Structure 1
Amino acid sequence: MSTSTSTLPQNNELNEQSRKQLIRLLALILIFAVMNGTMFNVAIPDISETFGLMPSQVSWVMTGYVMVYAIASVMYGKLADMYPIRNLLTIGIALFAAGSLLGFFAPNYTTLLAARVLQAMGGATIPALSFIIPARFFPSEKGKVFGIIASTVAFASGVGPIAGGMIGGVLEWRYLFLFPAVSVLAIPFFRKWIPHEETRGGRLDIFGGLLTASVVASLLSYVTTLNPWFLILFAVSVPLFIWRMKTAEDPFINPAILADASFRTTVLTSFLGTSAMFGLIFVIPIMLRELYDMSTLGIGLMLFPGAMLAGIFGRYGGRLVDEKGSRFVVRLAFILITAGVFFISTFAGALPVVLALAIVVAYLGFPLVQSSTAGLLSSILPAEKNGVGFGLFNLFNFISGAFSSAIFGAVLDWQSVTYTLNPVAAHGDHAIFSNVFFSLGIVALIALFIFSRTFRSQETDPSFTKHEPAQREAAAEAR
C-alpha cells in the first residue's frame, strides 16, 4: 500500500490566520461533541425518574447514542473520501443541533431516544472529520493539530460529568440538550475557513455500509446486553461483510487498507490504549464511591486535575510528534498509562491525594495515544483513503469503550475477592479494584509490545528508508 500523505493544490492552502481560526473552532466544536457524550451519564437517574423507566430501558440513552455514533463515524469517514468536508460538517452539525432541540422538548421517552439518535447521527461528523482535516489541510503541522484535538478530547471527557452534574443539579436534565444546540453557530465559520474541495469520483457501496453497520451494531449490542441473539446476528453478519468487501467493485471498506500490517498494528494499538483509558474512566468513579464514599461532585473533582493537565500536556505532545516522530510518542504514551494504572493498583484504598497523583500520570498518556496514532495513520494511509481509514480508527476506539465498560463492569461484581494480583499491593477489601487496574496495566504493556515488535521489524528492513514517508520517519528515529 502506498503511504503518501494527502496534499492540496496551492490555491487551497490556508494562510496562517485561517489555520489558527480553524484549529480553534475545531477544538471548540469538539468540546460540544465530546461533552455531549459524557455529561448525560450523571443525568441517567433523573431521566429514569421523569419517565418511570427501568435501568435496562434508560441505559439506551447512552447505549443507543454510542452505537449510532460509532457506526456514523466510519460512514462519514468514507463519505469524506468522496464529498467536500465542509458540506459534510454542515449537514452533521445541523443534525446535531436539531437532535438537541428535539431532546429539550421531548414529551416522552420515545422522542427522547429519537433525539439522541439524531444527535449521534450528526455529532459523529465532528470527531470523524476532526482527524481528517489536519491530515488533508495541515500536512506540515499535523502532529501539532492532532495534539490539540487529542488534548481537547481528554479535557472534555473529564469535564463532561462535572458540567452535567452542575447543569442538571441547578436546572434540569433537559437543559443538557441546550448546550450542544449552540454548535449550529459554527456552521458559517466552517464554511468560510475550510478550503473548497471538488466532489471526487467513487461510488458509495450502500449494501457494504449496511453490512458494516450490522457487524458493529450487533457486536456493541451483545457486549452491552449479553443477549445471545445479537451474538448470532454478529456471527451471520461477519462472513457477509467479508464476502462483500472482497467481491464489490468499490467496497465500502477497501481490503487493501486492512491488509497493511502497519495500519492494523496502529489501529490495534489505539484500540488497546483507549480500552485501558476507558476502563480507567469507568472504574475510578465506582471505586471512589465504594472505597471513599465520595459524592458525584467529589468524584468529578478527583478526575478534573488529570483532565486539565492532559489538555495542557496533549498540546506539547502534538509538537513532540512533529519533532520526535509518532512512534516515539506512542511508546511514551504507553509507558505513562502503564505506570499510572500500576500506581493506582498499588495505592487503591490509600489516601485520596496519592490516588489523585496516580490518576494524573495515567491521564497524561490519553492524549498522547490519540495524537501519535493519528499522526502515524496520516503517514500510512494513501491520500484517497484517509477518510475511511480514520473512520475505522474512530470506530475501533468507540468499540474499545464498550468492551471496557462491559468487561470490567462484570468483573466488579466479584466483590468477595480479597487477594491482589499486584505483588506490591496489600490484600483486603479493595483487592478487586487493585486487580482491575493491574489488568489495565497488562493491556497497556501488551499494546506496547505489539507496537514495538511490528515497527522494529520494519525499521531493520534494509529497504525501509528508501521510499515511504512513514518509513523515513522511523529511520530518523532509529538514528
Structure 2
Amino acid sequence: MTEFNEQAVADTTDKKNDPEITSDMAVKALIPLLITFVLGTLCLQGFNLVFTQVGQAVGAPKQASLITALPSIVLGIVCFIYGSLGDFVSLKKLVTVGISLLLAGSVFGFVATFFFTPNIWVVIIARIIQTAGEQVAGSVYLVVASKYLKDSLKVIFFGIFTAGYQVSAAIGVFAAGWLTSIHWQYLFLIPVVTVIFLPMLLHNLPNKSGTGEKVDAWGFVLFGIATAFLTLFFSYNAWWMILVAVLLFFAFAVYINKAKNPFITPDFFRNKRWIMAISLILLFYLPNYSFSPIFNAIGSEIHHLDTRSISLYIVWAFIVAAICGTCSGWIIDKIGQRTGIFLAGGLQLVGLIAASFLVTASPMALVIAGCLYYAGTGLLYSPIVDTVLGTLTKDESGRGVGMNDLAMNVAGSVGIAIIGGLMTSKPLTGFSLSGATGSTANYGNLFLVAAIATIAGLVIFGVFNKKIYATDKK
C-alpha cells in the first residue's frame, strides 16, 4: 500500500511538471488571480475617489490625502518584493498570505469603522493591509504567466491583465458620482468575495516556483526601504528623501557585491539587453498618470464642468484601453512585438499631440484624443512586458516582474510630479503652437511635455530594438 501511494504521488508530480499540463493548470489559476486583482483595484479606485469625504467623516480633512498616499507607497514597494519573491518562495504560500491579508484588512476596516468611532489611522492601516494583500494576486499572475504559460499564450494573458486593470479603472471613474452616496465603510468589503478562490488557486498553482535558495531578507529590506524613500520623494518633493534613497541604493549596491547569496546579483544589472528594454518602460510610462488630471483641470477651468460630468467623458478612454488590452494578444500575435510597440507608442504620441491642439475644442474632441492615447497604453503593456522579460532567464523572471512593476510605478510618479508642478505654477502660458495663451496654452503645452517622453521611447526603441531582441542573454 505504501509503495502504491508513493507511486501515485510520483505520477501526480510528474504530470504537474509536464509543460503542457502545467500551462493548462496555470490558465485555470490566472482567472481567479485576475478577478482578485480587479476587485482589489476597484476598492483602491473607490477610496481614491472618495478619500476627501472619508477624511471629513473621520474628522481629519487635512490628512485625507494620506488615505491614498500611504497605501500607494506600500503598493510601489510590494509590487517589487512580491514579484521577486516568486523566484524563491512557493506561489501557493504567497497567494495564501496575500488573500489572508486582503480578507483581514477588509474585515478589520469595516468592523472598526462601522461599529466603532472611525479614526483616520484605522482607515489608513486597513487600506495598507488590503493593498499589500491585493497586490499579491497581480504579482503572482504575472509570475505564473511568464514562467509557466506556453509562449503562444503569454502575450494574450498579459493583454488580459492590463484589460482587467483598465476595466477596474473605468468602473472606478464611471462610479465617481454614485460612490459618494454609498456609506463609505462598505467599500472595505468589495474584495471579501475573493476568499472563495483560495481552494481553486491552491489546487491549480504550479507546485514549484522557487530556486530552493534561502530568501535574502536583508537585501529585500534594504531595497524596500530605499524604494519607499524614492516613492515618498515623488509624493512630497522633500529633497532629503531623495538623498536618503540614493545613499540606501548605494548601500544596496555594495551589499549585493559583498553578500554570499543576494536575492539579485550585480550580473542582473549588467544585462545590457535588460537595461535597454527597461528604459522603454521608464519612458513610455512617464506620462501614464498625467492625461486624466490634465483633462480634469481643462474640464473644470476651461469648460466649467463638474467632476461627475468630467468622469462621464473620460471613462470612454478607459473603456477603449480595456478593449485594446483585451485584443492586444491577438493583435501582437498578428503583427509582432516590434510593430506592436511602435504602433502603441505612435498612438500615445498622436493622442498627446492632438490633445495639445484641442484644449478649447468640445470636451468630446479631447476625449477622442484621450481614446487614442489610452488605446496605445492598452496595446503597449503586453508586448513591452514580454519584451523585457524576454531579456532574462526563466529563473530571473520573478525579479523581472518586480522590476517592471517598480519601473512603471516610479515612472508614473515622476511624470505626475513634473506635470503636477507645471499645472500649479503655470510657467508655460506665454506661448503655444496653436497660438493660444494663458491657461489654454499651459494645458496644451503640458500635453507636449508629456509627449517628449514618448518620442524619446520611440527613438530609443528604433535605435536599439535589434540588440534588445538578440538571442544572447547578456
Same fold (TM > 0.5): yes
Partner Cα distance (1:231, 1:415) in 2: 25
Deviations 1:49-105 (A, max 9, x none): 1122253x2222111111111111111112111122232112112201211222223
Partner Cα distance (1:50, 1:229) in 2: 33
Map of 1:70-85 to 2, 5 A cutoff? 70-85=76-91
Structure 1 position 447 matched with structure 2 position 453: no
2:54 to 47, 59, 67: 47
Aligned to 1:144: 156
Aligned to 1:91: 97
CA displacement at 1:384 relative to structure 2:
0.9
Cα distance change, pair 158–254 in 1 and its aligned pair in 2 (3 A): farther
Partner Cα distance (1:192, 1:289) in 2: 50
CA displacement at 1:416 relative to structure 2:
6.9
Partner Cα distance (1:23, 1:204) in 2: 25
Cα distance change, pair 296–136 in 1 and its aligned pair in 2 (3 A): same
Aligned to 2:4: none
Aligned to 1:349: 360
CA displacement at 1:204 relative to structure 2:
1.5
Q: Is the 8 A contact 2:351 2:370 kept in 1?
A: yes
Map of 1:130-209 to 2, 5 A cutoff? 130-140=141-151, 141-163=153-175, 165-169=177-181, 171-197=182-208, 199-209=210-220
Q: Is the 8 A contact 1:158 1:304 kept in 2?
A: yes
Structure 1 position 214 matched with structure 2 position 225: yes
CA displacement at 1:220 relative to structure 2:
1.2
CA displacement at 1:227 relative to structure 2:
2.3
* Helix, strand or coil at the partner of 1:124: helix
Partner Cα distance (1:458, 1:373) in 2: 11
TM-score normalized by structure 2?
0.89
Partner Cα distance (1:419, 1:182) in 2: 53
2:288 to 256, 277, 280: 277
CA displacement at 1:314 relative to structure 2:
1.5
Aligned to 2:442: 432
Partner Cα distance (1:124, 1:61) in 2: 17
CA displacement at 1:14 relative to structure 2:
4.3
* Helix, strand or coil at the partner of 1:256: helix
Cα distance change, pair 192–54 in 1 and its aligned pair in 2 (3 A): same
Q: Is the 8 A contact 1:154 1:366 kept in 2?
A: no
Partner Cα distance (2:321, 2:444) in 1: 23
Partner Cα distance (1:399, 1:11) in 2: 35
Partner Cα distance (2:199, 2:300) in 1: 44
Partner Cα distance (2:281, 2:377) in 1: 10
Letter in 2 for 1:358: A
Letter in 2 for 1:24: I
TM-score normalized by structure 1?
0.88
Deviations 1:287-324 (A, max 9, x none): 22222222222222112211112211222211233333
Partner Cα distance (2:176, 2:316) in 1: 17
Partner Cα distance (2:255, 2:380) in 1: 32
Deviations 1:324-383 (A, max 9, x none): 332221111110100001111110121111111111100101122211111112322111
Partner Cα distance (1:427, 1:164) in 2: 32
Q: Is the 8 A contact 2:219 2:255 kept in 1?
A: yes
> What RMSD over aligned residues (CA atoms) do the two structures have, in Å?
2.3
Aligned to 1:69: 75
Q: Is the 8 A contact 1:156 1:307 kept in 2?
A: no
Alignment size in residue pairs: 453
Map of 1:399-478 to 2, 5 A cutoff? 399-415=410-426, 417-421=428-432, 423-424=433-434, 426-457=436-467, 464=470, 467=471
Letter in 1 for 2:34: A
Cα distance change, pair 41–441 in 1 and its aligned pair in 2 (3 A): same
Letter in 2 for 1:154: Q
2:398 to 387, 390, 393: 387
CA displacement at 1:210 relative to structure 2:
1.3
Letter in 2 for 1:434: G
Percent identical among aligned pairs is 23
Letter in 2 for 1:73: C
Partner Cα distance (1:259, 1:14) in 2: 32
CA displacement at 1:229 relative to structure 2:
3.1
Unpaired runs of 5+ residues, structure 2, are 1-15
Structure 1 position 37 matched with structure 2 position 49: no
Q: Is the 8 A contact 1:99 1:116 kept in 2?
A: yes
Unpaired runs of 5+ residues, structure 1, are 1-7, 472-479
Aligned to 1:249: 260
* Helix, strand or coil at the partner of 1:455: helix
Aligned to 2:33: 26
Letter in 2 for 1:47: V
* Helix, strand or coil at the partner of 1:65: helix
Cα distance change, pair 230–429 in 1 and its aligned pair in 2 (3 A): closer
Cα distance change, pair 425–131 in 1 and its aligned pair in 2 (3 A): farther
Partner Cα distance (1:294, 1:197) in 2: 54
Q: Is the 8 A contact 1:345 1:425 kept in 2?
A: no
Aligned to 2:9: none
* Helix, strand or coil at the partner of 1:429: helix
Cα distance change, pair 287–126 in 1 and its aligned pair in 2 (3 A): farther
Structure 1 position 321 matched with structure 2 position 332: yes
